[in-house]
Amino acid sequence: MQAVSVSAKLTKREAELLDKLTREYGFISKSEAIRSAVRLYLNLLELRPRDRLRTLQLINELIAPSGRTSGELIEETHREDDEL
Protein backbone atom coordinates (compact mmCIF):
# COMPACT_ATOMS: atom_id res chain seq x y z
CA MET A 1 0.00 0.00 0.00
CA GLN A 2 1.43 3.33 -1.02
CA ALA A 3 1.20 5.88 1.77
CA VAL A 4 0.98 9.65 1.51
CA SER A 5 2.09 11.88 4.37
CA VAL A 6 -0.01 14.89 5.26
CA SER A 7 0.87 17.52 7.82
CA ALA A 8 -1.62 19.67 9.67
CA LYS A 9 -1.36 22.62 11.99
CA LEU A 10 -3.47 22.47 15.13
CA THR A 11 -4.29 25.13 17.65
CA LYS A 12 -2.89 24.71 21.18
CA ARG A 13 -6.33 23.65 22.43
CA GLU A 14 -6.75 21.09 19.63
CA ALA A 15 -3.27 19.69 20.26
CA GLU A 16 -4.03 19.31 23.98
CA LEU A 17 -7.35 17.63 23.22
CA LEU A 18 -5.64 15.30 20.75
CA ASP A 19 -3.05 14.41 23.40
CA LYS A 20 -5.74 13.68 25.97
CA LEU A 21 -7.95 11.62 23.65
CA THR A 22 -4.97 9.66 22.27
CA ARG A 23 -4.22 8.54 25.84
CA GLU A 24 -7.85 7.94 26.83
CA TYR A 25 -8.63 5.83 23.77
CA GLY A 26 -5.31 3.97 23.84
CA PHE A 27 -4.10 4.94 20.35
CA ILE A 28 -0.43 4.05 19.91
CA SER A 29 0.34 7.60 18.75
CA LYS A 30 -1.28 10.92 17.90
CA SER A 31 -0.72 10.10 14.22
CA GLU A 32 -2.76 6.91 14.66
CA ALA A 33 -5.57 8.89 16.34
CA ILE A 34 -5.57 11.39 13.45
CA ARG A 35 -5.54 8.57 10.85
CA SER A 36 -8.53 7.00 12.56
CA ALA A 37 -10.38 10.34 12.67
CA VAL A 38 -9.68 11.01 8.98
CA ARG A 39 -10.90 7.52 7.98
CA LEU A 40 -14.09 7.97 9.96
CA TYR A 41 -14.69 11.40 8.42
CA LEU A 42 -14.10 10.06 4.92
CA ASN A 43 -16.48 7.17 5.63
CA LEU A 44 -19.14 9.67 6.66
CA LEU A 45 -18.70 11.72 3.48
CA GLU A 46 -18.90 8.56 1.37
CA LEU A 47 -22.21 7.37 2.77
CA ARG A 48 -25.23 7.32 0.45
CA PRO A 49 -26.88 10.78 0.35
CA ARG A 50 -29.87 9.97 2.58
CA ASP A 51 -27.74 8.11 5.14
CA ARG A 52 -25.22 10.95 5.10
CA LEU A 53 -27.97 13.50 5.76
CA ARG A 54 -29.43 11.41 8.60
CA THR A 55 -25.99 11.03 10.20
CA LEU A 56 -25.20 14.71 9.80
CA GLN A 57 -28.55 15.63 11.33
CA LEU A 58 -27.73 13.49 14.36
CA ILE A 59 -24.24 15.00 14.66
CA ASN A 60 -25.74 18.51 14.53
CA GLU A 61 -28.22 17.71 17.27
CA LEU A 62 -25.66 15.96 19.49
CA ILE A 63 -22.99 18.64 19.21
CA ALA A 64 -25.29 21.64 19.56
CA PRO A 65 -28.82 20.72 20.61
CA SER A 66 -31.33 23.55 20.81
CA GLY A 67 -35.00 24.09 21.51
CA ARG A 68 -35.49 26.54 18.66
CA THR A 69 -37.16 25.36 15.47
CA SER A 70 -35.80 26.04 12.01
CA GLY A 71 -38.81 28.32 11.36
CA GLU A 72 -37.99 30.40 14.44
CA LEU A 73 -34.31 30.63 13.51
CA ILE A 74 -35.07 31.83 9.99
CA GLU A 75 -37.66 34.30 11.28
CA GLU A 76 -35.00 35.77 13.61
CA THR A 77 -32.54 35.96 10.72
CA HIS A 78 -35.10 37.87 8.61
CA ARG A 79 -35.76 40.31 11.44
CA GLU A 80 -32.01 40.95 11.80
CA ASP A 81 -31.70 41.64 8.06
CA ASP A 82 -34.48 44.20 8.30
CA GLU A 83 -32.95 45.89 11.34
CA LEU A 84 -29.61 46.42 9.59
Partner 1 sequence: MEPSVLVKLFKREPNTGKMIDVVGAIDEGRDWYGCTSRWSLLEVARALKKDEKPRELIELDLRELRRHKITLIEVTKTILLDAEQMLISHNLYASDAVHLSTFRLARRQRRLDAMLTDDQHLRRFEGILTALTLDQVSP
> From the CB of 61, what's the least distance to partner 1, in Å?
5
- Touching partner 1, residues 6-65 (CB under 8 A): 49-50, 52-54, 56-61, 63-64
HEC letters along the chain: CCCCCCCCCCCHHHHHHHHHHHHHCCCCCHHHHHHHHHHHHHHHHCCCHHHHHHHHHHHHHHHCCCCCCHHHHHHHHHHHHHHC
> From the CB of 20, what's the least distance to partner 1, in Å?
18
Give the residue with the Cβ less far from partner 1, 36 or 56: 56
Q: Which residues bind partner 1 (CB under 8 A)?
A: 49-50, 52-54, 56-61, 63-64, 66, 68-71, 73-82
